[in-house]
Amino acid sequence: MTSHKVNVILLCECGKPIATFVAKEGPEPNYHRIDNGSWLDGQPYYVIHRVASVEGVHGVMADIIKYCSTLTSSIRIDTHADNRPMQALWPRLGFMYCGIIYVENGDSRLAFSVCLFSVYFCVYLPLSYLNLSLHFSYFKGQLSPTYESFL
């Protein structure tokens, strides 16, 4: 039997718990079969499960995704077909619908995935006294420039 890393995370604000979730290293047995689609990639991934927050607390999923991006570049998640708020949230966080998976009891779930990556490219100015390297990091649809000067 293969052992996989599981992180049970408790999010706190001002010392008080506000949310919890599980980040589990794949492969996830329920994700081997996917109908009406496919996963975005075949890379190693983490799965987010059991997300819960205190009533009235909003916006924790962005923090959860940010944390999970420190563990992996590929994240998978699933939700019930009737969970419309979560289905609307995933695309806003960069996730794409991938298909339908089935849990142990045979119930179906909608499956989503995101591949997080960085793209780096350099621009060199043709000035003999200045060599400037401009890097752009791409994360969830946003480009962030970083400048480095090499003299």
- Residue-wise pLDDT tens digits, 31-53: 999 999 999 999 999 999 999 99
Residues 133/122, Cβ–Cβ less than 8 Å: yes
Q: Pick the closest to residue 106 from 38, 49, 33 (CA basis).
A: 33
- Residue-wise pLDDT tens digits, 80-126: 999 998 999 999 999 999 999 999 999 999 999 999 864 444 444 44
**Model pTM above 0.85:** no
